[in-house]
Structure 1
């Protein structure tokens, strides 16, 4: 009887601690405060706009100075103008990845992860809170980045008398909004990798490799590999969601199946992060 009571006592204490632990709302407020208490957050957001708008404007300037001969034969000038607006945000996502990697893995370096997990025994809550806060910030900042890059690039092209596109043109606003909506994909991947690898540099490097390497290496591979393997990698799937992949490319996929591939990759990475949080000590 005494043994049974002694065994039940820790379980009762754990149950009371779990029931009295702060809920998801408190976790969201805590992660929001953590993110905005970092000076690097403000630096990253400023850099994202500078890189996004600046790189699109510089590339448009190079094309404008070169004239029409800078546009490859057979390429629609309007499509080229939109593509130049999208290059800057594609590069700016790197700084969001840096922010995300530090947001999760940084807590292991400082030891703050012990407090984060100690406050709430349900370990899915800090992961969900971090993912929600990061997604909201990147979505808001990403929309600014994408619009700034679009306006800057089209202004430069127009100054040189090159073909431009407007947000009211057919399909342009949709692609701009889709690019902004998909910007959190790789920061969320970096967030998950931070919990898995427990190192900021490792999480950032791996996320960038996942983002860029398949496309770089895939260009050197046979078409059947690109069609059956590279097409289903995260970066390629995101490009198909936005609509930046040519229909004739072996890696082309319709937007909805591509969105399903992106969702599957996010579920896999965040699920692995949750497993790591649940099974491994801080």
Structure 2
């Protein structure tokens, strides 16, 4: 019998190379915004300015407390104050450095024209603004925690026996300060998307956060004071102070968050209506 011809074995199918992990369009956009934020010098200079302002403000406020308690006029003695209150009060100046971080996240791209490239890579205006807001909120919240720590470290030795630093209360005040800075950072981002100019955006932020509500409160008319209580800076102040009047702290937080959300919505509408 003739042997059947040997058949060549079929080659094993080549193994397919593993596919590259897909992060998804939203995650990719977040990664791009994260890279852009940290690749510009303004971010680092703004953070350094915020740290220096915080240290200077906290130190000055602590000196005022110590001096008032040791001068010859007992009528102005504040007594023992918490370190957390110094942390919160130092935000009055520090917040404007953090606001610059939020508004520059988008106005810088308008100024240089790089927003056109951003929109070509991510055509959805809403997604662009959402990812910028997510990155801005994350960075400013973490920065707020660090700044709160700086303020506490500076104020504690300066206050000396006139300061009290309960752990729970101090952590709460530092975390609340970080949440406040994150929300005003997003507010600055949204207004920057609407106004496009860093100078104009900063002027409007100054008006909304401080000038207009202070003007309304100066009149000492109940109706105007209640209107001022609805502005973001005043609402944030009630949240930070833990006031029960005119509304609970959580209402102040929600009002501030509402302003930030409204600014983002306005920014999205402006981006969709006008070319970059």
Q: Same fold (TM over 0.5)?
A: yes
Distance 1:101 1:237, change over 3 A: same
Unmatched 5+ residue regions in structure 1?
Answer: 1-21
Displacement of 1:168 in angstroms is 2.3
SS at match of 1:183: helix
Distance 1:227 1:204, change over 3 A: closer
Distance 1:134 1:87, change over 3 A: same
Displacement of 1:44 in angstroms is 1.1
Aligned length: 253
Work out which of the two has the higher radius of gyration on C-alpha atoms and give 1 or 2.
Answer: 2
State the alpha-carbon separation in 2 of the partners of residues 209 and 77 from structure 1. 34
Distance 1:165 1:37, change over 3 A: same
State the alpha-carbon separation in 1 of the partners of residues 76 and 56 from structure 2. 27
SS at match of 1:219: helix
TM-score scaled by length of structure 2: 0.83
| Partner in structure 2 of residue 213 of structure 1 | 211
| Partner in structure 1 of residue 163 of structure 2 | 164
Alpha-carbon contact 2:88-2:173 (below 8 Å) kept? no
State the alpha-carbon separation in 2 of the partners of residues 72 and 125 from structure 1. 58
Displacement of 1:141 in angstroms is 1.0
Please show how residues 68-79 of structure 1 align to structure 2 within 5 Å: 68-69=70-71, 73=75, 77-79=79-81
SS at match of 1:232: coil
Given the alignment of the two structures, is residue 280 of structure 1 paired with residue 257 of structure 2, yes or no? no
Please show how residues 173-188 of structure 1 align to structure 2 within 5 Å: 173-188=171-186
| Partner in structure 2 of residue 242 of structure 1 | 240
| Partner in structure 2 of residue 19 of structure 1 | none
Deviations 1:63-102, CA, capped at 9 Å, x for gaps: 3234345998588634475433322233111111112222
TM-score scaled by length of structure 1: 0.81
Distance 1:259 1:195, change over 3 A: same
| Partner in structure 2 of residue 89 of structure 1 | 91
SS at match of 1:121: coil
CA root-mean-square deviation: 2.4
State the alpha-carbon separation in 1 of the partners of residues 68 and 206 from structure 2. 31
| Partner in structure 1 of residue 56 of structure 2 | 54
From 151, 154, 157, the equivalent of 1:152 is: 154
State the alpha-carbon separation in 1 of the partners of residues 154 and 166 from structure 2. 13
State the alpha-carbon separation in 1 of the partners of residues 129 and 199 from structure 2. 19
Alpha-carbon contact 2:217-2:225 (below 8 Å) kept? no
State the alpha-carbon separation in 2 of the partners of residues 81 and 75 from structure 1. 16
Displacement of 1:49 in angstroms is 1.3
Alpha-carbon contact 2:68-2:76 (below 8 Å) kept? no
Alpha-carbon contact 1:138-1:183 (below 8 Å) kept? yes
| Partner in structure 2 of residue 9 of structure 1 | none
SS at match of 2:218: coil
| Partner in structure 2 of residue 257 of structure 1 | 251
Alpha-carbon contact 2:82-2:165 (below 8 Å) kept? no
Q: Name which of structure 1's ranges 75-84 and 41-50 shifts more when overlaid on structure 2.
A: 75-84
Alpha-carbon contact 1:135-1:184 (below 8 Å) kept? yes
